[in-house]
């Protein structure tokens, strides 16, 4: 089947804009950029794998099922929101043993954890569900798959590079602590907005 080129460009544009704007995946990628290439690779691989899993599920009709069962959809959003809020709270109030220049950052650190995180990420469901709705059919699956891989990888890499570029700035514990508090509050606010919007 031939892909629907009339709708492909708007969908790709939507994916790019959404992938560039701040969200949970980007905040985690920004933080991982400060921890080195290995952490960045885990975040990117996990996010891409999870996004492709969402694409598969949406193509099989799970998106329509979630629309038909609002309680299930709301439950996923609340679960994702609770997880994001927990990550944010951990950045704002780390355990006493973790305080200092070498604090262990609370976030999905493995490929599997980041992939599973996408299942509870409302922004990811919304984007993939919208893309599948605008580009239904088997002929559009390959272009959507390629778009998700390229766009997600590129945008997360940009956020990770921004995190790495600011590494020297955050060498001072006081500056790093302020940044962690801002990031934690941003994650918690993002989580609260998602949950309040869903219920």
* Three-state secondary structure of 63-129: HHHHHHCHHHHHHHHHHHHHHHHHHHHHHHCCCHHHCCCCCCCCCCCCHHHHHHHHHCCHHHHHHHH
Note the pTM of the prediction, 2 decimals. Answer: 0.69
Our CA dihedral for 44, 47, 48, 51, rounded to 10 degrees, sits at -170
Question: Looking at the 3D structure of the chain, how many domains does it have?
Answer: 1
Q: How far apart are CA 135 and CA 102, in angstroms?
A: 46
> Residue 96: which pLDDT band, with cuts at 50, 70 and 90?
very low
The number of angstroms, rounded, from the C-alpha of 111 to the middle of its chain's C-alpha atoms is 13
pLDDT in tens, 3-19: 666 777 888 888 888 78
Provide the residue range defining the domain that includes 115.
5-198
Tell me the pLDDT tens digit for each residue of 24-43: 888 889 888 888 899 999 99
Using pLDDT thresholds of 50, 70 and 90, give the confidence band for residue 120: confident
Q: Mean of the per-residue pLDDT values for the chain?
A: 79
Mean pLDDT across 142-166: 93
How does DSSP classify residue 59?
A: H
Least confident of 44-58, 115-129, 147-161: 115-129
pLDDT at 155 over 80: yes
The CA–CA distances, whole Å, from 142 to 3, 63, 78, 91, 170 equal 8, 19, 31, 38, 41
């Amino acid at each position: 089947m031939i892909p629907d080129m009339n709708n492909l460009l708007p969908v790709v544009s939507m994916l790019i804009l959404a992938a560039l704007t701040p969200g949970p995946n980007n905040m985690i990628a920004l933080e991982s950029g400060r921890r080195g290439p290995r952490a960045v690779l885990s975040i990117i691989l996990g996010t891409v794998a999870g996004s492709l899993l969402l694409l598969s599920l949406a193509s099989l009709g799970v998106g329509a099922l979630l629309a038909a069962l609002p309680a299930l959809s709301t439950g996923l959003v609340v679960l994702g929101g609770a997880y994001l809020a927990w990550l944010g709270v951990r950045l704002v109030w780390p355990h006493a043993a973790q305080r200092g220049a070498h604090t262990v950052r609370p976030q999905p650190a493995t490929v599997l954890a980041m992939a599973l995180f996408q299942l509870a990420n409302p922004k990811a469901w919304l984007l993939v569900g919208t893309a599948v709705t605008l580009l239904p059919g088997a002929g559009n699956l390959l272009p959507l798959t390629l778009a998700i891989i390229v766009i997600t990888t590129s945008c997360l890499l940009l956020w990770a590079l921004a995190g790495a570029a600011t590494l020297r700035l955050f060498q001072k514990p006081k500056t790093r602590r302020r940044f962690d508090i801002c990031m934690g509050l941003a994650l918690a606010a993002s989580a609260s907005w998602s949950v309040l919007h869903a219920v």
